[in-house]
């Protein structure tokens, strides 16, 4: 079937099922094009909690659909590709986190939303890349366990005197961006600010003019008067950047910045999910309730 006719069939089925299509900023262009909402992890969680739709079609990776199920248990959450996981989220499990907590009694756990529901259930407060600094600053305690992203943890630790016990997780996609690649591009395009995601290695973030979440990047490149930018995050972000700023140029810092999991979901997968109402992601109540506490505590922090 032709791309346009699949897209119209999806739109018709979304209406019929009273469904909303949420897509992460890293999704394929043609998926972002038909989404009701595109956004970063924080924006999509908030939308999942607020929507009136009966069905949420989550175009992203597994932990994001779990977050939607935690926040909106009465809704049917579809993840068109059940095999779309996040290797960083898989680097921590509930059992190992419990062991670390036992080694640091009374120390609160801050968990990046890129984590399983079971890990969130062992957590005091969640964070995303958009609010991690505020979340950590909101804690009265002087030390904390930060999991699973060591790079985000190191980045946040620069904004506070608190002591961090870092989990050694990382995003394999962002980790593939090397400082040498950034330095070479900076030399080639000296007028171009370099903006990157805090999941990048600290050696890369140190070279950045600005470090922020994916949504933060859209604002940065729109508000900054520069005519071109070097972009240090997953390639999917370029679609909306170019659409919103057609007169500007965006240079991906490395061709390796492609997350295979974020690229799995095709229009055909979305259509099939809406036709069959499968695969459903549903978090069991005994995990959902404590995980929701950690997400709610994060969502109570005012946004900028
Ligand atoms: P944000 O969209 O929250 O910036 O996160 C990036 C990411 O890696 C999601 O998997
Ligand atoms: Fe996970 Fe990194 Fe892919 Fe995001 S980009 S889903 S953190 S592997």
What is the predicted pLDDT for the residue at 49? 85
Distance from the CA of 40 to the center of ligand 1, in angstroms? Answer: 6
Ligand 2 geometric centre to CA of 49 (Å): 22
Angstrom distance (rounded) from CA 238 to CA 284: 36
- Flag whether pLDDT at 42 surpasses 80: no
Could you write out the DSSP letters of every residue in 107-130? --EEEESSS-HHHHTT-SEEE-TT
Q: Is the peptide bond before 9 cis (omega within 30 degrees of 0)?
A: no
Tokens 């062991």 found at: 99
Which of 22-31, 47-56, 269-278, 279-288 has the weakest average pLDDT? 47-56
- Residue 156, judged by CB atoms within 10 A of its CB (0-12, 13-18, 19+), counts as buried
Ligand 1, atom 1, lies closest to the CA of 40
Write down the mean pLDDT value for the chain.
96
Q: Tell me if residue 294 falls in helix, strand or coil.
A: helix
* pLDDT tier at 43, thresholds 50, 70, 90: confident
Whether residue 141 contacts residue 109, with contact meaning beta carbons closer than 8 Å, is answered with no
Cα 143 to its chain centre, rounded Å, is 25
The pTM for the full model equals 0.95
Q: How far is the CA of 60 from the centre of ligand 2 (A)?
A: 10
pLDDT at 40 over 90: no
Q: Single out the residue of 93, 39, 44 nearest to residue 71, CA to CA.
A: 44
DSSP-derived secondary structure letter, 14: H
Q: Which atom of ligand 1 lies closest to the CA of 234?
A: 8
Ligand of minimum distance to the alpha carbon of 213: 1
Tell me the CA–centroid distance for residue 114 and ligand 1, in Å: 8
**Long-range contacts of residues 62-66, Cβ cutoff 8 Å, at least 24 apart:** 62/86, 62/89, 62/116, 62/281, 63/89, 63/113, 63/114, 63/115, 63/116, 63/117, 64/24, 64/113, 65/281, 66/116, 66/117, 66/281, 66/283
| pLDDT (0 to 100) of residue 45 | 79
- How far does the centroid of ligand 1 lie from the alpha carbon of residue 146, in Å? 17
Cα distance between residue 189 and residue 79, in whole Å: 40
Please choose from 63, 199, 261 the residue to mutate so as to test ligand 1's pocket, defined by most ligand atoms within 8 A of CB: 199
pLDDT above 90 for 99 = yes
Average pLDDT (280-292) is 98
Residues enclosing ligand 1, CB less than 6 A?
25, 40-41, 86, 114, 128-130, 171, 199, 213-214
| pLDDT over 80 at 304, yes or no | no
Domains of the chain: 3-85+262-282 (3.40.50.10800), 88-170+287-299 (3.40.50.10800), 177-252 (3.40.50.10800)
The span from the CA of 136 to the CA of 126, in Å, is 10
Q: Tell me: the pLDDT tens digits for 191-245?
A: 999 999 999 999 999 999 999 999 899 999 999 999 999 999 999 999 999 999 9
Residue nearest to atom 7 of ligand 2 (CA): 171
What would the pLDDT profile of 100-116 be if each residue is shown by its tens digit? 999 999 999 999 999 99
User: Is residue 160 classed as helix, strand or coil in its secondary structure?
Assistant: coil
The CA 1 to ligand 1 mean position distance, Å, reads 31
Residue 23 forms beta bridges with which residues?
A: 38, 59
């Amino acid at each position: 079937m032709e791309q346009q006719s699949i897209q119209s069939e999806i739109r018709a089925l979304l209406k019929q099922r009273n469904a909303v299509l949420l897509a992460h900023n890293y999704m394929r262009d043609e998926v972002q094009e038909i989404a009701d909402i595109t956004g970063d992890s924080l924006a999509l969680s908030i939308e999942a909690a607020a929507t009136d739709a009966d069905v949420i079609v989550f175009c992203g990776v597994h932990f994001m659909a779990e977050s939607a199920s935690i926040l909106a248990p009465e809704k049917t959450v579809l993840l068109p590709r059940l095999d779309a996981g996040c290797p960083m989220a898989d680097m921590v499990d509930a059992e190992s986190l419990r062991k670390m907590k036992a080694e640091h009694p009374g120390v609160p756990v801050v968990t990046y939303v890129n984590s399983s529901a079971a890990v969130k259930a062992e957590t005091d407060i969640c964070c995303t890349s958009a609010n991690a600094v505020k979340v950590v600053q909101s804690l009265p305690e002087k030390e904390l366990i930060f999991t699973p992203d060591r790079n985000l943890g190191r980045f946040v630790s620069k904004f506070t005197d608190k002591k961090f016990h870092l989990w050694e997780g990382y995003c394999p996609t962002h980790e593939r961006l090397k400082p040498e690649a950034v330095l070479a591009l900076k030399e080639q395009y000296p007028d171009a600010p370099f903006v990157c995601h805090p999941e990048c290695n600290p050696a890369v973030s140190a070279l950045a003019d600005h470090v922020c979440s994916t949504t933060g990047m859209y604002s940065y490149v729109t508000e900054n008067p520069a005519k071109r930018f070097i972009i240090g995050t997953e390639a999917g972000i370029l679609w909306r950047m170019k659409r919103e700023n057609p007169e500007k140029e965006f240079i991906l810092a490395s061709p390796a910045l492609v997350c295979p999991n974020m690229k799995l979901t095709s229009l055909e997968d979305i259509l099939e999910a809406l036709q069959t109402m499968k695969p459903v992601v549903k978090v069991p109540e005994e995990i959902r309730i404590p995980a929701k506490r950690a997400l709610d505590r994060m969502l109570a922090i005012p946004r900028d």
